[in-house]
């Protein structure tokens, strides 16, 4: 069955706004026109896509399935339009990058500086965030690429990944911390001190809690949750709090005065790099940024090998 692209756009807007009246205003059409379009789409599919509520609408299970496919079509059409526009104008184009906290302080600034120097006509926008939110925005076509931790195999089936760095995850504290004097620290020792964690909804937060649960211990209680790594490190420097972070963090200016504890039970490595939509189009600007990121990370990797 062939579906009208305009119907899909109307459906998407209603799904996003969860209100037909608000969606109609956004689209610049009359509410009865939008209602008729949604009803016709439901009749064509033979299912109910929205549950009508006293205030607004909610997607049914059929609607959730439709939303996934409608978003994919929307992203493909957006990619096609941008690719054709770039071909027609011959310009370098623009790129919207989603970046995790580590990349905002390390790698990305140098890569963007190199891109701008070599291609001054590029237009770049950077959105900061954590993995899950960034990947959702990437799948919706709101981001062209993400630089962050590589997602697990089951979470990246619709994504392309390029590993650029590997790092060690561990527990960080100030150098004068009581635990910093110990050659080995147990998981139970870590529960005696306050913790600073990333937001509760993040993968990093859940992973840390899971390590303790797997060792038959309660998750550490956080006294502070923040998405700002700079804030976390500044509080660590001035307290006996603990935090989980990557070892390269200690090589940044914000990491001065901090140290990693030797906690065998929390030894973990992670890969990070560039994540894009599988089969998605990348503008020349995006390709330039990726090339610079690869070069920056390769230089650092060579430096680490020569200075073990």
Q: Could you report the per-residue pLDDT of 25-61, keeping only the tens digit for each?
A: 988 899 899 998 888 888 888 899 999 888 888 999 9
State the DSSP H helix or E strand holding residue 13, giving kind and residue range, or none if neither.
helix 5-17
**Position 147 confidence tier, pLDDT thresholds 50, 70, 90:** very high
The superfamily CATH assigns to domain 89-165+271-306 is: Periplasmic binding protein-like II (3.40.190.10)
At 308, the pLDDT band (50, 70, 90 cuts) reads very low
Q: Which stretches of 16-56 are assigned E, i.e. beta strand? A: 50-52
CA 304/CA 286 separation, integer angstroms: 27
CATH 3.40.190.290 positions along the chain are: 167-269
Q: What is the pLDDT of residue 193?
A: 95
Tell which CATH classification among 1.10.1040.10, 2.40.180.10, 1.10.10.60, 1.10.10.10 matches the domain 5-80.
1.10.10.10
pLDDT at 88 over 60: no
Q: How far is CA 131 from CA 35, 49, 155, 273, in A?
A: 36, 30, 11, 12
Mean pLDDT for the stretch of residues 86-113? 81
Domain boundaries for CATH 3.40.190.10 within the chain: 89-165+271-306
Mean of the pLDDT values across residues 186-199? 92
222-225 vs 145-149, strand pairing mode: unpaired
Q: What is the mean pLDDT of residues 187-207?
A: 89
pLDDT grade, residue 203 (50/70/90)?
A: confident
pLDDT band of 171, cuts 50, 70, 90: very high
How far is the C-alpha of 34 from the C-alpha of 36, rounded, in Å? 5
Question: Rounded to whole angstroms, what are the CA distances from 35 to 7, 16, 40, 300?
Answer: 11, 15, 9, 57
- In whole angstroms, give the CA distance from residue 279 to residue 223: 43
Residue 87, pLDDT > 60, answer no
Percent of the chain clearing pLDDT 70 (strictly above)? 92
**pLDDT, tens only, 262-296:** 998 777 788 899 999 988 878 888 999 999 999 99
Tokens linked to 57:
């609408």
Beta bridge partners of 64: none
Residue 85 has pLDDT above 50, yes or no: yes
| CATH architecture of residue range(s) 167-269 | 3-Layer(aba) Sandwich (3.40)
pLDDT (mean) for 201-224: 89
**CATH 1.10.10.10 location in the chain:** 5-80
pLDDT score, position 90: 47
Confidence of residue 247 (pLDDT cuts 50, 70, 90): confident
Q: How would residue 240 be classed by pLDDT, with cut points 50, 70 and 90? A: very high
Segment 158-173 mean pLDDT = 90
Please provide the average confidence, as pLDDT, over all residues in the chain.
86
Mean predicted confidence (pLDDT) in 185-197: 93
pLDDT of residue 261 exceeding 90:
yes
Work out the average pLDDT over 178-184: 92
């Amino acid at each position: 069955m062939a579906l009208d692209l305009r119907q899909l756009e109307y459906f998407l807007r209603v799904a996003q706004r969860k209100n037909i009246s608000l969606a109609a205003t956004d689209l610049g059409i009359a509410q009865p026109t939008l209602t008729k379009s949604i009803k016709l789409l439901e009749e064509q599919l033979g299912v109910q896509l929205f549950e009508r509520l006293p205030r607004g609408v909610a997607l049914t299970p059929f609607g959730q399935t439709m939303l996934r496919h409608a978003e994919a079509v929307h992203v493909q059409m957006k990619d096609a339009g941008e690719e054709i526009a770039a071909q027609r104008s011959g310009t370098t184009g623009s790129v919207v990058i989603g970046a995790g906290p580590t990349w905002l302080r390390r790698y990305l600034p140098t890569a963007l500086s190199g891109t701008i120097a070599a291609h001054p006509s590029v237009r770049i926008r950077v959105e900061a965030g954590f993995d899950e939110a960034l990947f959702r925005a990437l799948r919706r076509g709101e981001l062209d690429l993400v630089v962050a931790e590589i997602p697990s195999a089951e979470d990246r089936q619709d994504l392309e990944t390029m590993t650029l760095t590997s790092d060690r995850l561990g527990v960080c504290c100030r150098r004068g911390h009581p635990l910093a004097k110990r050659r080995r620290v147990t998981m139970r020792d870590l529960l005696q001190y306050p913790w600073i964690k990333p937001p509760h909804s993040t993968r990093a937060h859940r992973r840390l809690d899971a390590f303790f649960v797997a060792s038959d211990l309660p998750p550490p209680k956080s006294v502070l949750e923040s998405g700002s790594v700079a804030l976390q490190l500044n509080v660590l420097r001035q307290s006996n709090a603990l935090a989980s972070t990557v070892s390269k963090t200690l090589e940044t200016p914000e990491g001065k005065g901090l140290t990693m504890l030797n906690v065998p039970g929390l030894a973990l490595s992670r890969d990070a790099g560039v994540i894009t939509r599988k089969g998605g189009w990348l503008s020349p600007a995006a390709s330039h940024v990726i090339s610079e990121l690869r070069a920056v990370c390769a230089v650092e990797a060579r430096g680490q090998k020569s200075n073990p």
